[in-house]
């Protein structure tokens, strides 16, 4: 599952490598890309709703269990799948994300961003992705991500900010896992830094941690080779 404010195209640089070794599904979450519309009236902002959408998509494909992976907001969705549908989870891949709920400062930032979005004021394009990626990221990578972010409607931005703000703490949930978990984080991730990744890796009994040097908050897009190697190596060892 993709990060905010992007869609499944963020995985295009790793798609070929991963799909060659495993069945890869990269849905667009509700309101993003080709995902289902938020609709009118909009549903209550909820990461759980996105998790249920993902599981419904697997039902349509006749898939009973899967490894659920997500980057940033997508990681929150993956952990919500674990909370709501634990019988469907064979493993977790948590990338540039965190298990903890937002603190007061983060909640205020999300509230303010959502209210600005209600008035059509959103960070778009390059302004939306530059704070997420590491300094020195190739201009072509930044611009590709910016084009994706530029397509996200303001209504989706506000809804997603409120959904992320309302998510519960999942650290204790990870502590009860009995399956493989891979945590991947960029060394220079300023949004969910390596300390947050280490917290998840310590919490989950069967977790492995990979830190990608020189990478920011969008590991699959910033370091496709390093990310693919980490995931494929984990899959070969644990599944």
Q: What is the tens place of the pLDDT at every residue in 144-177?
A: 999 999 999 999 999 999 999 999 999 999 999 9
Q: What is the pLDDT of residues 202-214, one digit of tens each?
A: 999 999 999 999 9
Residues 6+ apart with CB under 8 A from 110: 102, 161, 162, 164, 165
**Domain total of the chain:** 1
Residue 127 lies in a domain: no
* CA end-to-end span of the chain: 20
Report d(CA 80, CA 173) in Å as an integer. Answer: 10
* Residues 90-117: b if buried by 16+ CB within 10 A, e if exposed: ebbbbbbbbbbbbeeeeeeebeebbebb
Q: How far is CA 93 from the centre of its chain?
A: 10
Q: Give this prediction's pTM.
A: 0.97
Show Cβ contacts of residue 150 under 8 Å, excluding neighbours closer than 6 positions.
124, 125, 128
Q: Which domain covers residue 40, as residue numbers? A: 8-101+169-238
The residue with tokens 């989950």 is 204
Q: Please state the rounded mean pLDDT for residues 44-69.
A: 98
Domain assignment present for residue 178? The answer is yes
Given a cut of 90, is residue 40 above it in pLDDT? no
Does the structure show a pLDDT above 90 at 124? no
* Assigned domain for 218 exists: yes
Going by the DSSP 8-state scheme, the letter that residue 87 receives in this structure is G
* Confidence band for 39, pLDDT divided at 50, 70 and 90: confident
The CATH number that applies at residue 218 is 3.40.50.1820
Residue 86 forms part of a structural domain = yes
Residue 162 lies in a domain: no
pLDDT bucket at 118, cuts 50 / 70 / 90: very high
The CA-based angle 43-47-53, given to 5 degrees, is 75
Question: Which structure tokens are listed for 237?
Answer: 């060892």
Q: Is residue 88 part of a domain?
A: yes
Q: Does residue 120 fall inside a structural domain? A: no
Examine residue 125 and state whether it is found in any structural domain, yes or no: no
């Amino acid at each position: 599952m993709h990060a905010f404010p992007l869609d499944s195209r963020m995985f295009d640089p790793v798609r070929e490598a991963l799909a060659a070794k495993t069945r890869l599904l990269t849905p667009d979450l509700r309101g993003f890309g080709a995902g289902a519309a938020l609709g009118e009236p909009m549903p209550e902002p909820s990461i759980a709703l996105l998790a249920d959408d993902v599981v419904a998509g697997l039902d349509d494909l006749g898939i009973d269990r899967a490894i659920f992976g997500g980057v940033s907001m997508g990681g929150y969705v993956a952990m919500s799948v674990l909370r709501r549908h634990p019988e469907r989870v064979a493993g977790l891949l948590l990338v540039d994300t965190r298990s903890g709920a937002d603190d007061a400062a983060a909640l205020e930032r999300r509230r303010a961003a959502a209210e600005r979005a209600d008035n059509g004021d959103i960070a778009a394009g390059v302004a939306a992705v530059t704070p997420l990626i590491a300094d020195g990221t190739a201009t072509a990578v930044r611009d590709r991500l910016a084009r994706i972010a530029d397509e996200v409607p303001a209504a989706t931005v506000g809804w997603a900010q409120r959904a992320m703000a309302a998510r519960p703490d999942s650290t204790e949930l990870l502590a009860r896992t009995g399956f493989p978990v891979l945590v991947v984080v960029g060394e220079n991730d300023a949004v969910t830094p390596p300390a947050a990744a280490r917290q998840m890796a310590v919490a989950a009994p069967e977790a492995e941690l990979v830190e990608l040097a020189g990478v920011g908050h969008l590991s699959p897009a910033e370091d496709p080779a390093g990310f693919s190697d980490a995931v494929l190596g984990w899959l070969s060892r644990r599944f």
